[in-house]
Amino acid sequence: MIEQTLVLVKPDGVQRGLIGEVIKRFEQRGLKVVALKLTKIDKDFSKKHYTEDIERRRGKKVRDLLIDYITSEPVVAIIVEGVDAIENVRKIAGETESKAAIPGTIRGDFSHVSFSHADENKIAAKNIVHTSANKEEAKAETSLWFSVDELHSYKRVEEDQVF
């Protein structure tokens, strides 16, 4: 199934010059970038991204740290499209906590801040990217970050192998 999903290169990924590396990882797997922008978001927008659901699951303190962090510097928002894109993007990104992310994944290769270290130091866990967790989240997040006019269609050579 062809799907679209959101990827954010978070402030730590932007500041470390990993934008191209992140995009490269998805493109190497045959996934297609159909929308891309560098932006700095405000707290109101970030609360639409980090919804109250995150507060219910992980607590108000974690949500507040995430909001402070994602609004601190620019992020790169990307919509990636491809066969089973949501699952494939999450595999390429790796586990959310750096110490659980295996080498070869984005987080396994570039992140190093564990949840316990972040909690101990009262900071957000810096893990390079955000990826949509499931179809519902992908649909909500892609429409939050991009208008229909910002999505672009084109054909990659790998598509001849898929269709």
Residue 46 class from Cβ within 10 Å (0-12 exposed, 13-18 middle, 19+ buried)? middle
- The CA-atom distances, in angstroms, between 136 and each of 3, 12, 19, 63 are 11, 26, 26, 20
Q: Which of 49, 112, 117, 130 is catalytic?
A: 130
Identity at 120, one-letter amino acid code = E
- CA distances, 145 to each of 84, 124, 127, 138 (Å): 20, 21, 20, 11
In single-letter form, the type of residue at position 151 comes to L
49 is annotated as an active-site residue: no
Half-sphere exposure of 8 (CA within 13 A, CB side): 26
Q: Active-site residue numbers? A: 130
